């Protein structure tokens, strides 16, 4: 009897772990940190071994979402956006169109699929929220935030990597009244809407800050960083942070009561201190050098790493003071993630670099040129189960980066 109970407990535990699986923008905590170990510390001259590739994604620069059993990618063909699910050998399991995608400048799908428990979510560049069954690919529900709410599209199309927390699916519609939305993740029905400060959305992907007695949704809008009570949508605070083109794609980083936010075009970053109840923020320091346009940044051991937009160097800043510790022109500007002690940098020129963040400098250990795809090298890399996922336009490439 005890043996049976033990087995049942194991089964229940396994189900619970599976049921909580999530694959989202920039890793488990949306901060660019992938908690992998046993990865290669250097690569062969032409890069790590490519396990498989697919060149049929069409236009776009959306990152992928990877789970234990599937790889979800978004693409655009003949003006129609779709989600495709691969198995881990590259075989297509299903492919589902969901509606029109962007065909003007920088055409194609922008937003990475979000996998949560048993569903896949995306936001089209025209503001349509879509929820699909992750196993079969059928569409479960859609909500057009420009029709159901007063959302207004922006110059280069809605670009938001969705977020789920406590059963709420968050989206920045960018309307004057319906600015930030919290929807039921299973039905798409409205839970709350917040006026925010009435600014349009700004290509940012939100995060949730967890305090002792409150959760706060933090995101960028056109010219501001804003904080909203996650429980009821109450607008808490706004901090001015404009740039020339109202492009604010970098998800903020939070740690121990402090919030770092940065954007391109020379605006750079600002460190904010949250009040204990999260109802207000105060400025701590600024640094204009680290101003990634869309490449993100990572916080590792009290240091912030990322690339610039105006100056186009790579920077290391002290988290507490904002002091520049060192910089390098080792690669062109680009995206950055971190895993197993090393930085993975993917630059605008199509070079992927394995970089050691040293005490006083960057060390470019290995690099290779992305061999497939076309147009912009903007999709953020993903690491899962000792594999590196690189998307370049129509092509998805999967590399083995596990140490032998």
Distance CA 388, CA 43 (A): 12
Q: What is the pLDDT of residue 3?
A: 47
- The 10s digit of each residue's pLDDT in 387-398 is 999 999 999 999
In a domain, 24, yes or no: no
Q: Say yes or no to pLDDT of 4 above 70.
A: no
- Percent of the chain's residues with pLDDT above 70: 95
- The 10s digit of each residue's pLDDT in 313-327 is 999 999 999 999 999
Q: Say yes or no to pLDDT of 16 above 80.
A: no
pTM of the model: 0.94
Q: What is the pLDDT of residue 404?
A: 82
In a domain, 376, yes or no: yes
Sheet with 71-77: list strands edge to edge: 65-66, 71-77, 80-86, 92-100
In a domain, 222, yes or no: no
**How many helical (H) and strand (E) elements, i.e. helices and strands, does the chain have?**
1, 33
Distance CA 53, CA 400 (A): 12
* Contact between 400 and 51 (Cβ < 8 Å): yes
Task: Quickly state the pLDDT bin for 5 (edges 50, 70, 90).
Answer: very low
In a domain, 122, yes or no: no
Closest CA to 253 of 293, 284, 215, 296: 296
In a domain, 18, yes or no: no
Task: Quickly state the pLDDT bin for 134 (edges 50, 70, 90).
Answer: very high
Distance CA 87, CA 59 (A): 22
Quote the tokens at residue 402: 């596990």
> Whole-number mean pLDDT of the chain?
95
Torsions phi, psi of 372, nearest 5? -125, 165
In a domain, 81, yes or no: no
Q: How many domains does the chain have?
A: 1
Q: Residue 242 burial (CB < 10 Å; 0-12/13-18/19+)? A: middle
Give the domain CATH number at 344. Answer: 2.40.128.630
Q: What is the pLDDT of residue 12?
A: 43
Sheet with 281-287: list strands edge to edge: 253-255, 258-263, 268-274, 281-287
- The 10s digit of each residue's pLDDT in 183-241 is 999 999 999 999 999 999 999 999 999 999 999 999 999 999 999 999 999 999 999 99
Q: What is the pLDDT of residue 2?
A: 45
Q: What is the pLDDT of residue 10?
A: 41
* Contact between 377 and 400 (Cβ < 8 Å): no
Torsions phi, psi of 328, nearest 5? -160, 150
R_g of the chain computed on alpha carbons: 20
In a domain, 38, yes or no: yes
Domain range spanning residue 403?
33-55+296-404
In a domain, 387, yes or no: yes
């Amino acid at each position: 009897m005890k043996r049976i109970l033990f087995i049942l407990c194991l089964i229940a535990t396994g189900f619970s772990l599976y049921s909580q699986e999530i694959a989202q923008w920039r890793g488990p905590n949306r901060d660019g940190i992938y908690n992998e170990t046993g990865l290669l510390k250097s690569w062969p001259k032409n890069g790590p071994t490519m396990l498989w590739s697919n060149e049929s994604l069409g236009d776009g620069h959306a990152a992928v979402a990877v789970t234990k059993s599937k790889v979800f990618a978004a693409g655009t063909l003949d003006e129609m956006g779709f989600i495709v699910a691969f198995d881990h050998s590259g075989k297509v399991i299903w492919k589902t169109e969901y509606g029109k995608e962007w065909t003007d400048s920088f055409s194609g799908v922008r937003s990475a699929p979000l996998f949560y428990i048993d569903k896949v979510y995306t936001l089209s560049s025209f503001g349509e929220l879509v929820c699909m069954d992750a196993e079969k690919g059928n569409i479960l529900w859609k909500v057009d935030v420009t029709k159901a709410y007063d959302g207004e599209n922006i110059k280069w199309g809605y670009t938001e990597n969705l977020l789920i927390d406590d059963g709420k699916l968050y989206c920045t519609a960018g309307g004057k009244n319906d600015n930030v939305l919290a929807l039921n993740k299973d039905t798409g029905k409205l839970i709350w809407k917040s006026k925010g400060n009435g600014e349009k959305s700004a290509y940012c992907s939100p995060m949730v800050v967890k305090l002792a007695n409150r959760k706060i949704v933090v995101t960028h809008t056109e010219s501001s960083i804003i904080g909203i009570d996650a429980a009821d949508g109450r607008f808490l605070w706004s901090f001015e942070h404009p740039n020339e083109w109202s492009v604010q794609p970098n998800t903020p980083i939070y740690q121990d009561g402090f919030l770092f936010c940065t954007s391109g075009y020379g605006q750079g970053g600002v460190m904010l201190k949250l009040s204990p109840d999260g109802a207000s923020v105060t400025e701590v320091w600024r640094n204009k050098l680290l101003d990634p346009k869309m490449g993100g940044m990572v916080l590792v051991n009290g240091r912030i790493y990322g690339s610039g937009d105006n100056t186009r160097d790579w920077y290391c800043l002290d988290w507490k003071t904002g002091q520049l510790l060192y910089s390098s022109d080792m690669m062109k500007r680009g995206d950055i993630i971190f895993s197993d002690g090393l930085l993975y940098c993917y630059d605008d020129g199509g070079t992927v670099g394995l970089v050691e963040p040293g005490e006083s400098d960057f060390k470019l250990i290995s690099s290779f040129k992305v061999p497939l795809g076309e147009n912009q090298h903007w999709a953020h890399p993903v690491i899962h189960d000792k594999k590196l996922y690189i998307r370049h336009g129509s092509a998805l490439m999967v590399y083995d980066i596990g140490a032998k």
